[in-house]
Amino acid sequence: MAGSFISVDVVGQKQIGQALNRLLKQGSDLEPALRDIGEYLLESTQQRFIDQQAPNGEPWDPLSPKTLAKKKRQDRVLTETGTLVDTLHYQLGVNQLTLGSNMEYAATHQFGRESDGIPARPFLGIAVFERVEILAILRDHLN
């Protein structure tokens, strides 16, 4: 035969098919992995209140003198009674994970409110090291 050609022999076709079917089955029910990710992100987000920093590692803006004068706990930003951090929770949906707080003022602190002079102090988000852990959780789930 003139010209060039390539021949491919598949070895282990049965094992490959079984592995792909297993991967498809595990990938169709992500709830266990999402639950693990939710628990991880909940703890990590709560740690931000202790560290007083945004997901990107930047420290939160300090409290204004006006706010300091009203606070009982002057040493902690976003922590007077602990309600905000205590209301953090996650919810699972169909292949979906949502993390946040149901407190109305959570958005004010996350995004700031310029009209009242309140700077953004983001506590929700995913840090680079958290992305690595999320991928590890998903990898473990799919193995």
Residue 118: left if φ>0, alpha if ψ -120 to 50, beta else—which one? beta
Q: Which amino acid is at 10?
A: V
7 band by pLDDT with thresholds 50, 70 and 90: low
Q: Which candidate, 128, 104, 105, places its Cα nearest to that of 118?
A: 105
Question: pTM for this one?
Answer: 0.77
Q: What's the rounded mean pLDDT across residues 122-127?
A: 95
Are 46 and 88 in contact by the 8 Å Cβ rule? The answer is yes
pLDDT band at 23 (very low <50, low <70, confident <90, very high): low
Of 22-31, 44-53, 112-121, which range is least confident? 22-31
CA distance linking residue 106 with residue 131, whole number of Å: 23
The whole-chain average pLDDT of the chain stands at: 86
Pairing of strands 96-101, 88-93: antiparallel
Residue 1 has pLDDT above 70, yes or no: no
